Amino acid sequence: MDKKLSITICASFLFISSFITGQAKDFNIASYGGKPNGDITNALTKAWTDACAATDASKILVGAGSFFMNAVNLKGPCKAPSLELQVDGIIQAPANPAQLKGADQWVKIGYVNGFTLSGKGTFDGKGPSAWKANDCAHNSKCNWPTMNFGFNFLNNSYIRGVTSKDSKNFHVNVLSCNNINFDGFNIIAPEDSPNTDGIHIGRSTGVTVANTNIATGDDCVSLGDGNKNITVVNVHCGPGHGISVGSLGRYDNEQPVTGVSVRNCTLSNTMNGVRIKTWPGTSGTITVTDMHFEDLVMDNVQNPVIIDQEYCPSNQCDKSSPSKIKISNVSFRNIRGTSQTQQGVSLICSKGVPCENVQLDNINLKFNGALISAQFSNVNPRITGVELASTST
């Protein structure tokens, strides 16, 4: 073998071995002045700058202890082939929303390929003071509070182990990401915390939420427009508003949603179970297709199975004009448990563009020990292995 070629192969093998075995150059925030019970905003930002500029795989370390931090914007692109932020302590946001100076997200991470957020730490958003002043459910011109996390334009990335606690707004916003995985992630907020969606995903491809516990005051997982190939598996949701596709159709220039799989999940004491929701009386005209919800347990869920194309919270729309969103190829399979209401299945589709190819298969839900009823509008579902007390249209 040519000597030069041999050296090149050897060097490549060593690089790949180092990457696979997780050997990385460490950047400990303690080396940048980040100390327990202190403010680590500057320390983390400086550590990120150096780790991002490194030519080797890099790891930023936030050790045990309690820390304070203002809003940070950690951006790439990075020279490092992979970059990990390992947090084992408790990082606290300012309790006063004004101190975040209007930041959309408290921890914003973007434009990185091969990013990992890991550890056993907690990001405490200190939300209660913001919740008290939040009137966004009734005021379309409200000032939205800061979210805990913004993951933007990330590729081939992992979020695992850490906990998001008491965000002032959404816990996580995922925007324009490809192949990002949440595994063993935890979200904690009380049932009455407003707009604290667990993980909201928009305009992303190949997102997986797995082995995750979400207790919050709004949707546990919500999907906006432009999503493709989204998987939600082995998630426990509750309290909260369930797992939702939408709402969709409220704005111009929205993009289609296709390829959603929600399976092996448990929803406990939630307002809704699994839901597709679109706005009537608006100009949005996209398609929603290939939505599959299967092997789900509903434990005392108020509305277990829903398609709602008349979604109009606080009467912010004109219901006289039907939704223009076309929903097709949807299945609800192997769903069992208990409903808080007699009407455990509600499929209300648009009279302008009725739903097509909707299947209900092996739905076994009970209300006070009795069979549930179902309501269908502008849809003719294919029903197999389902017992219902009654149906209405």
Q: Give per-residue pLDDT as tens, 377-392.
A: 999 999 999 989 889 8
- Is the pLDDT at 217 greater than 60? The verdict is yes
Six-digit token string for 213: 């516990």
The residue from 138, 171, 236, 241 that is catalytic is 241
Enter the DSSP assignment of 89: S
Q: What is the largest CA-CA distance in the chain?
A: 79
Mean pLDDT, residues 336-351 taken together: 98
pLDDT at residue number 58? 98
Residue 350 φ then ψ, to 5°:
-80, 135
- Is the pLDDT at 6 greater than 70? The verdict is no
- Is the pLDDT at 213 greater than 70? The verdict is yes
- Name the fold adopted by 219-393: Pectate Lyase C-like (2.160.20)
Q: How far apart, in whole angstroms, are the C-alpha atoms of residue 221 and residue 199? A: 5
Write the pLDDT tens digit of every residue in 13-30.
333 334 444 578 999 999
Cβ neighbors of 16 (< 8 A, separation 6 or more) are none
Cβ neighbors of 98 (< 8 A, separation 6 or more) are none
- Is the pLDDT at 62 greater than 60? The verdict is yes
Let me know if 241 is a catalytic residue. yes
- pTM exceeds 0.85 for this model: yes
**CA distance to 108, 154, 267, 273, 290, per residue, from 209 (Å):** 19, 15, 15, 17, 18
pLDDT at residue number 19? 41
